[in-house]
A = this chain, B = another copy of it.
């Protein structure tokens, strides 16, 4: 099987949410796996001087409309959560903890976390909601919340974010295909063509 695609995202990113529904089916058509990598965009923004979508005047009005429009196109439910953006620290650490034992469960957890935030409007910065989502996909939510307080999982998330930055990631979603970077949910069609043609 060809090299897997790496999918970087922040759980608080609406474009990451949209991409999370689409990347695995696209990759599968090309015989590729996808490695999911939640990161904290806040740490990235400190380096680049970028700011959350909501903090851009004029642009934010467009982005709200555009995300909802793209969700309609792909028939993905969408509603902006409150608060937005939210700190996805607990959910991101939990992802890596779950992935250690069961990659499929970790992806199911990630999709359910995104769904909690952007389909059900839950505040997924709350550890209680993270535990509930984890339990719903078959994990032990209470044990998970204890685990992610260990330095190991805090360090892991920090290391993954640092590695993303070292690889040139500056936004969400961000894909790496055989070293080729693609930024943004709206570049999935280009990524698909890239996989079909082997690049250009």
CB-CB contacts below 8 Å: A136-186 with B: 165, 168-171, 181, 183-184, 186
- State the number of copies, please: 2
CB-CB contacts below 8 Å: A45-85 with B: 47-51, 56-59, 61-62, 65-66, 69-70, 72-73
Interface of A is mostly: helix
Q: In the complex, which range does the number of interface residues on chain A fall in? A: 20 to 34
CB-CB contacts below 8 Å: A89-132 with B: none
The 8 Å CB contact of A57, one of B47, B69, B184, B189, is B47
Do the beta carbons of B165 and A58 come within 8 Å of each other?
A: yes
Which single residue of chain B is at the shortest CB-CB distance from A183? Answer: B62
The 8 Å CB contact of A171, one of B49, B59, B72, B200, is B59
